[in-house]
Chains A and B, each alone.
Chain A
């Protein structure tokens, strides 16, 4: 499976074909983005089983709707949108907003923080997720891959398109909004 993956334009061209090369393009997309999508979805739904189901559904949706993608945005932006919509639909259907499993990553305050020991990991994790969900899509995407995955702006630009300067601005505004949200929660 570790084959050379062509550039995005080639992948999109192959994906739109009606022969075996279309499935080849889907294979490239799975290999290129499955791990990143897994961690993203896992952050939202908090457990492996649901992440696995949603992840498969996302790739099936990509296959079924491949002709709807016309290349007006970066391919991963489109994929991210599908993953986000599927995850939020799942959470809404299950009426779960923070079903946390034992192996789920929880946010905790560092000992040096004034909030250390005052807020439970479940609370802060839930608040942070709510704050991120209120962000516009582009800001949310940039924040998640910069803050959680520590990607460089150049790497994020390759995924989402856009300039490094624009992405920095997106991240700055996202952080400001989350800061305001958390301060409101913490001061109550």
Chain B
């Protein structure tokens, strides 16, 4: 680096920047602090004092309690599984199914037929579409058979046709 090299800026008269009096800088100090003191800091409101917070908290608690109560009233599978089915008689089961047949799905009923004692003596042949069982049922002497003893096969078939009950070809054959 050569400090003695002449540069263009060395050929310039720089001039002197005018500087205000000390009074100006004293006033500057006062002006700045007056602006700082007049700017009020934002008021900090605790969150728990805000209405929206209180309302939303109350709504959340209410919702949680409602859900907890709702959950408690629903029967669970575990509760269902703990029911002693041996304490329920066959007649009671059959009567219940018969009275609420529309609430049951046919597929589910067929699955659980074997679990009900002497189901072959049941009185709802159209719900399982099984003609062989219909024959078998009519041949057994139970109180339910009494209902079908005066009905012959042709009448049953005509009934099924009228009710548009679809039968598996296999069953018909």
Q: How far is the CA of A23 from the CA of B30 in the complex (A)?
A: 12
Partner of B17, one of A34, A148, A182: A148
Are B29 and A27 closer than 8 Å at their CB atoms?
yes
- Number of A interface residues at 8 Å Cβ cutoff, please give it: 42
Instruction: Give 1 or 0 for each of B30-53: 1 = CB within 8 Å of chain A CB.
Output: 011101100000000000000000
Q: Which residues of A contact B32 (CB under 8 A)?
A: 26, 30, 56, 59-60, 63
The interface stretch among A4-12, A67-75, A88-96, A172-180 is: A172-180
**B14 on interface, CB distance cutoff 8 Å:** yes
Fill in one digit per residue for A50-85: 1 if any B CB lies within 8 Å of its CB, else 0.
001001100110010000000000000000000000
Question: Given the known A-B contacts A23-B36, A124-B12, are A39 and B29 also in contact in the complex, defined by CB atoms under 8 Å?
Answer: no
Are A38 and B20 closer than 8 Å at their CB atoms? Answer: yes
The smallest C-beta distance from A93 to any residue of chain B, in angstroms, reads 21
Give the CA-CA distance A34 to B11 in the complex, in Å: 30
Give chain A interface residues in 32-49, CB to chain B under 8 Å.
34-35, 38-39, 42-43, 48
A178 to B31, CA, bound (A): 38
Could you tell me if A172 and B36 are in contact, using CB atoms closer than 8 angstroms?
no
B18 contacts A by Cβ under 8 Å: yes
Inter-subunit contact A178/B9 (CB<8 Å): yes
Contact present for B33 and A23 (CB under 8 Å): yes
Given contacts A35-B25, A56-B31, A63-B36, contact A109 B18 (CB under 8 A): no
Cβ–Cβ contact A34 & B36, under 8 A? no
Whether B28 and A56, one on each chain, are in contact in the complex, defined by CB atoms closer than 8 angstroms, is yes
Residues of A within 8 A of B7 (CB): 175, 178-179
CB-CB under 8 A from A52, the residues of chain B are 28
* B36 engages A182 (CB within 8 Å): no
Tally of contacts, chain A with chain B, CB under 8 A: 88
B8, B18, B19, B33: residue with the most chain A Cβ atoms closer than 10 Å? B8
Q: Shortest beta-carbon distance, A180 to chain B, in Å? A: 10
Q: A31-B29, A105-B16 are in contact. Are A60 and B11 (CB under 8 A)?
A: no
Known A23-B36, A55-B28, A56-B28: A183·B8 in contact at CB below 8 Å:
yes
Kindly list chain B residues whose C-beta atoms are within 8 Å of the C-beta of A26.
32-33, 36
Report the minimum CB–CB distance from B33 to chain A (whole Å).
Answer: 7
Which residue numbers of A lie inside 8 Å of B, CB to CB? 1, 23, 26-27, 30-31, 34-35, 38-39, 42-43, 48, 52, 55-56, 59-60, 63, 103, 105-110, 112-113, 115, 124, 128, 147-148, 168-169, 172, 175, 178-179, 182-183, 186
Given contacts A39-B17, A59-B32, A103-B18, 16 further A-B contacts (CB under 8 A): A26-B32, A48-B18, A107-B12, A107-B13, A108-B13, A112-B11, A115-B8, A115-B11, A128-B9, A147-B9, A148-B14, A172-B1, A175-B7, A178-B9, A183-B8, A186-B8
9 contacts between A and B (CB under 8 A): A30-B29, A52-B28, A59-B32, A107-B13, A107-B15, A109-B13, A147-B14, A172-B1, A186-B8
